[in-house]
């Protein structure tokens, strides 16, 4: 990454307040933008569905079994990603987000590379993710990383499911 941005792999139980400073704001931005793109704009994080508010309010509990990757530029958290612990040889990447002011610097690519390395080190054979079909830039990024569209495991319309071997 450029301009002093680094990816820090933050895991439970070593998830401490200094490591996650800024993470709740990134998660809130992610969920608010996603809801707005789905046509369900909400006034603020307090109006999000409970399952999303729980992630924002207490990421330590929400991701207790997962790895949270946070990209920082100096002291500022500018991107995040969650990779689940392997189940049946498969991990899932979710909550990929880069602050719009920091896009175009390779932050999402660094997060993805770190997530794939973490999944492989944790024993995953396959990594999967889902992305809304209107997020063409994200889909192109995932394809550059070797993800391919696969049969959907989710019944929500317009959701593209992708996976790749690690």
For the stretch 103-157, pLDDT in tens is: 988 999 999 999 999 999 999 999 999 999 999 999 999 999 999 999 988 888 8
pLDDT of residue 17: 53
The shares of helix, strand and coil residues in the chain, as percent rounded to the nearest 5, are: 35, 30, 35
Token pair 């990816």 is found at 7
- 152: its two tokens: 């959907």
The answer to whether the CB of 27 falls within 8 A of the CB of 136 is no
Average pLDDT over residues 54-73: 90
Summarize the confidence of residues 51-65 as an average pLDDT: 91
Query: Is the separation of the CB atoms in 59 and 88 below 8 Å?
Result: no
Return the ∠ at Cα 54 (arms to 52 and 55), rounded to 5°.
70
Mean pLDDT of the chain: 89
pLDDT at 16 over 80: no
The set of residues, in sequence order, having a beta carbon less than 8 Å from that of 138 and lying 6+ positions away, is 96, 108, 131
For residues 94 and 67, the answer to whether their CB atoms sit within 8 Å is no
């Amino acid at each position: 990454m450029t301009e002093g941005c680094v990816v820090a792999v933050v895991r439970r139980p070593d998830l401490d307040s200094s490591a996650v400073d800024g993470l709740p704001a990134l998660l809130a931005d992610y969920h608010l933008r996603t809801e707005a793109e789905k046509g369900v704009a909400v006034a603020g994080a307090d109006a999000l569905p409970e399952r999303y508010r729980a992630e924002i309010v207490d990421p330590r509990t929400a991701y207790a079994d997962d790895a949270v990757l946070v990209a920082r530029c100096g002291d500022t958290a500018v991107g995040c990603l969650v990779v689940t612990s392997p189940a049946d040889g498969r991990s899932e990447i979710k909550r990929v987000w880069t602050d719009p002011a920091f896009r175009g610097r390779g932050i999402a690519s660094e997060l993805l590379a770190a997530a794939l390395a973490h999944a492989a080190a944790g024993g995953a054979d396959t990594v999967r993710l889902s992305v809304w079909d209107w997020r063409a830039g994200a889909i192109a990024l995932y394809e550059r990383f070797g993800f391919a569209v696969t049969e959907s495991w989710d019944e929500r319309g317009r959701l593209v499911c992708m996976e790749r071997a690690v």
